[in-house]
Amino acid sequence: MDDNGHIEVKVKSMYVEEHSQPDDERFVFAYTVTIRNTGKTAAQLLTRHWIITDGHGREQEVRGEGVVGEQPYLKPGEEFRYTSGTVLETPVGSMHGRYRMRTDDGSEFDAQIAPFTLSTPRILH
């Protein structure tokens, strides 16, 4: 099985202005993740590992079981979507990471999450 095990991960991020306090260096971002099984074997998401980097290059790692309290089991062609969030001290940052997946035969692999930008409006063009 290849490194991504035929799991496709897409992320859309947005700035949450109503929960942010720029004067206090608090910038809140939401992101919606779609995880799709594009392969021929079912797989379950076991754990997540995020690396969150703010505009000063400071990194924060987040590890844990599942996502939003679930460990979704995806049959071929199925997808799971959830929304979560993070708080930065800068108006721009980025996130990337991986999901640890297990197939029905017990083999495990990492589904990579490509880097994506967190940005307040009008900061990046």
Q: Is residue 2 in some structural domain?
A: no
Helix (H, G, I), strand (E, B) or coil at 28: strand
> Above 60 in pLDDT, residue 20?
yes
- Confidence at 122, pLDDT banded by 50, 70, 90: confident
Q: Is residue 28 in some structural domain?
A: yes
Helix, strand, coil in percent for the chain, rounding step 5: 5, 65, 30
pLDDT > 70 fraction of the chain, expressed in percent and rounded? 94
Q: Is residue 113 in some structural domain?
A: yes
Q: What is the pLDDT of residues 44-99, one digit of tens each?
A: 999 999 999 999 999 999 999 999 999 999 999 999 999 999 999 999 999 999 99
What is the model's pLDDT at position 123? 62
Q: Is residue 48 in some structural domain?
A: yes
What would the two tokens of residue 37 be? 């099984």
Cβ–Cβ under 8 Å, residues 15 and 52: no
Q: Is residue 124 in some structural domain?
A: no
> Above 90 in pLDDT, residue 24?
yes
How many domains are contained in the chain?
Answer: 1
Cα four-point dihedral sign 83, 8, 63, 59: negative
CATH of the domain at 16: 2.60.40.1470
Please tell me the pTM assigned to this model.
0.91
What would the two tokens of residue 57 be? 């290059």
Q: Is residue 1 in some structural domain?
A: no
Boundaries of domain holding 78: 7-119
